[in-house]
Structure 1
Amino acid sequence: MTVQMREARVHRLPMSAPNDTSAIANLIASGEIDPGSIVAILGKSEGNGCVNDFTRGYAVQSLELLLSSYLDTARIHNICMVMSGGTEGALSPHWILFEAMSAMKANPARFPEGALALGTHVTDDFAPEEIGRLAQVEAVAAGVHAAMAQAGIARVEDVHFVQIKCPLLTAERIRAAGGASQVATTDTLRSMGLSRGASALGVALALGEISKAELSNAAIGADLSLFSTRASCSAGVELMGCEILIMGMSSQWSGPLAIGHAVMGDALDVDPVRGVLRSFGLGENGQLDPAGRARITALLVKAEASKSGHVRGARHTMLDDSDISSTRHARGFVAGALGGLIGHSELFVSGGAEHQGPDGGGPCAIICDRT
């Protein structure tokens, strides 16, 4: 008896510049990517990852221009386009494209635990005064539940990673809201952290990692004992709502791809990541060999500079650099640690981990081909 299921496909593709969609275009032309099946595209672009990083919007505009030849505007709007700026160190700019395909599977017991499942949701736009506040938390929590339902994931423990793109405040948006008294902060760089934090707390609330009673506007960005172990949130100027991509495991999905997650306790804590690799049968103690490396479709991780100013008792200066944001230092540092483990530099390392894992650490997810 055949079972009608869905199958996730994931493509990691190079990017020579934020407007370089040629690798995607080539796979569409060859038939390897069906534009109608695309549900999300992540991008690591080479900007500064701060408020004025327009490489993110440039990348989204370039993707929309490419896809407009195949899809109508409404369909393009429903594709989650999560652009994360900052490729410090040897991080390589790249795309990660997700497809959800219809699939017929004669033997659903081949992988009894199911396969990689994808769900998406795009929230309504926020008013500037809602960014970084409870309204954003609650909207994201509802969006996570909607994306889980779309993915056919019934249990919160089967959600392994939630990738979110969220908005930030600009001087113009603050003015439009009525000034400083109306918004969570007038510091536009800090607004990125508050927005990331509110989004992460929305994930934590939806997945039962925290309770609603623990939440308040004052707790956002302040009570860092509240966090999600599966949220990855990136803020940008190019949108006013949140785009949510759920990645988990479901028996309603087939195919060779699976996802696992871990939490890094600090920027050097690669052992939990190694544990995920072992769960996929990649048990090398050192760097993955070429065959093992080829099975890793994507690695996604959060990075931040610890608020204590130390990593394992040794002082760091990431928080004291007035020229370069600490998020940029953290991305480069964690990318180096994990790049040495995986063996390549196309890693989706996102900076700023407010309420995303413990201080100085962050959630990490690996998508692996089990064949």
Structure 2
Amino acid sequence: MSQKVGVHVVACRGPGDLSGVQALIDAGDIDPRHIVAVMGKTEGNGCVNDHTRDFAATAWCHFLAPHLGCTAEAVHARVALVMSGGTEGVLSPHFTMFTRETVEAEAMHAEKRLVVGIAHTRDFAPEEMGRMAQVHATAEAVREAMRDAGIADAADVHFAQVKCPLLTSAKVDDALRRGAEPVTRDTYESMGYSRGASALGVGLALGEIAPERLSDAAVLHDATLHSARASVSAGIELEGNVVIVLGEAQGSASAFRIGHTVMRDAVDGMGVRTLLRTHFGLDAERDADAIASRLVNLLAKAEASPDGRVRGARHTMLNDSDINSTRHARAAVGGVLASVVGRTALYVSGGAEHQGPPGGGPVAAIVRMPSS
């Protein structure tokens, strides 16, 4: 038996618009019972008060519940829902759906193909967020998701998407009433701590970071620690982490492959061009038509360089009191990636703490392979 993964990108008119998904079901293109993960880009601000993420997740739960024969609340335990807020610049709101089914072993592909696995951590107490408790719980969830995907070698993991919680004023007050000190009392800052600890957990699970180098003090403070395959988005709509592992395995019956690279900074379009050429044999200019038809999505992290410079020139993203730096970064990286692949429905998530080098971030490409 083989795992067969399907990937579909669906545009939406708003965070609750699932008409495109219904159209795929009506056409017989997907069986909703096979949906195991959804990564959405919603059009909110991506900050603490971005309720478009919760809106989208709730819409998906109510949509899938009758298909799965469970309550809307129970959908969260069966489907990994990751909603990332912020579609600044040219980015287009959309959902990327992953279906998975077990099929009779088909003719072996010459190369490994796409597989997907999901897992959830327990809920975190407010004072655990941004600290080693979250690091270790995330690492174990990544390992569980690898097992769910059928991936034995961490080198075959190309992207580990995590959705993590953040602190609200109510959570901070709860911790203080119990005599516990949260990692920060600033709710916006808590997003970075939660993302950073989760990314370190991914790096720990994938063998990118030695366990002895990790500590509470390292989160957001040791810039030498990062994962080349972690992507983490924080949100108000959950209390624990949701993990989606995307990788490759021999024997997969999927029609897709996935590869990854790391953008060294926000304007590193060349890194993505190199990924497409070396991993998939696609030249961004020569094979523009093939990229248009075969590229499913680019999954990327974006960050305003913390030293205030991009290739030696000063940027002002960190000094703007009107627009958060994560919003600037999403717009910048989204524009760069769109210029390479000629597409704007791209999954670009802001805030890359410990996700790639400072100012840069991981990027993965999912590509449909030609029929043999």
| Smaller-chain TM-score bracket | over 0.9
* Counterpart residue number, 1:28: 25
- 1:4-19 to structure 2, matched below 5 A, reads 4-19=1-16
Structure 2: which amino acid aligns with 1:142?
E
* Counterpart residue number, 1:369: 368
* Aligned residues: CA RMSD: 1.3
Structure 2: which amino acid aligns with 1:212?
P
* Counterpart residue number, 2:241: 242
Q: Is the 8 A contact 1:7 1:103 kept in 2?
A: yes
Structure 1: which amino acid aligns with 2:211?
K
- 1:171-250 to structure 2, matched below 5 A, reads 171-178=169-176, 182-250=181-249
Question: For residues 87-119 of structure 1, what are the alpha-carbon distances to aligned partners after superposition, in whole Å with 9 as ceiling and x for unaligned?
Answer: 0001000000000122224311xx232210100
* Counterpart residue number, 2:167: 169
Question: For residues 32-77 of structure 1, what are the alpha-carbon distances to aligned partners after superposition, in whole Å with 9 as ceiling and x for unaligned?
Answer: 1112111100110000000000000000011111112211133542
Structure 2: which amino acid aligns with 1:176?
D
Deviation of 1:181 after TM superposition, in Å, equals 5.0
Of 142, 146, 149 in structure 1, the residue corresponding to residue 147 of structure 2 is: 149
Structure 2: which amino acid aligns with 1:361?
G
* Greater shift in the superposed pair: 64-73 or 286-295: 286-295
- State the distance in 1 between where 2:180 and 2:221 align: 19
* Counterpart residue number, 2:359: 360
Structure 1: which amino acid aligns with 2:115?
A
Q: Is the 8 A contact 1:64 1:76 kept in 2?
A: yes
Structure 1: which amino acid aligns with 2:202?
V
- State the distance in 1 between where 2:274 and 2:158 align: 14
Q: Is the 8 A contact 2:127 2:180 kept in 1?
A: no
Equivalent residues, number: 365
* Counterpart residue number, 2:78: 78
Deviation of 1:227 after TM superposition, in Å, equals 0.3
Question: For residues 168-223 of structure 1, what are the alpha-carbon distances to aligned partners after superposition, in whole Å with 9 as ceiling and x for unaligned?
Answer: 00000111122585211001000000000000000000011111110110110111
* Counterpart residue number, 2:107: 107
- State the distance in 1 between where 2:22 and 2:62 align: 11
* Counterpart residue number, 1:126: 124
* Counterpart residue number, 1:323: 322
TM-score, normalised with respect to structure 1: 0.96
Structure 2: which amino acid aligns with 1:367?
I
Structure 1: which amino acid aligns with 2:288?
D
Deviation of 1:288 after TM superposition, in Å, equals 5.3
Structure 2: which amino acid aligns with 1:11?
H
| Unaligned 5+ runs, structure 1 | none
What secondary structure does 1:31 align onto? coil
Among all aligned residue pairs of Structure 1 and Structure 2, give the percentage whose two residues are the same amino acid.
Answer: 50
- State the distance in 1 between where 2:218 and 2:76 align: 35
- State the distance in 2 between where 1:161 and 1:287 align: 27
Question: For residues 16-37 of structure 1, what are the alpha-carbon distances to aligned partners after superposition, in whole Å with 9 as ceiling and x for unaligned?
Answer: 1011011111212222111211
- State the distance in 1 between where 2:145 and 2:337 align: 29
Structure 2: which amino acid aligns with 1:281?
G
1:45 aligns with 2:56: no
Question: For residues 286-313 of structure 1, what are the alpha-carbon distances to aligned partners after superposition, in whole Å with 9 as ceiling and x for unaligned?
Answer: 3852332110011100000001111011
Structure 2: which amino acid aligns with 1:19?
G
Deviation of 1:15 after TM superposition, in Å, equals 0.8
Q: Is the 8 A contact 2:61 2:75 kept in 1?
A: no
Q: Is the 8 A contact 1:115 1:253 kept in 2?
A: yes
Question: For residues 235 and 287 of structure 1, do their structure 2 counterparts lie closer, same or farther at Cα, with a shift above 3 Å needed?
Answer: farther
Q: Is the 8 A contact 2:2 2:106 kept in 1?
A: no
| Unaligned 5+ runs, structure 2 | none
Q: Is the 8 A contact 1:287 1:342 kept in 2?
A: no
Q: Is the 8 A contact 1:105 1:254 kept in 2?
A: yes
Q: Is the 8 A contact 2:115 2:254 kept in 1?
A: no
* Counterpart residue number, 2:90: 90
- State the distance in 1 between where 2:45 and 2:76 align: 26
* Counterpart residue number, 2:345: 346
- State the distance in 2 between where 1:181 and 1:114 align: 48
Q: Is the 8 A contact 1:41 1:80 kept in 2?
A: yes
Deviation of 1:252 after TM superposition, in Å, equals 3.6
What secondary structure does 1:123 align onto? strand
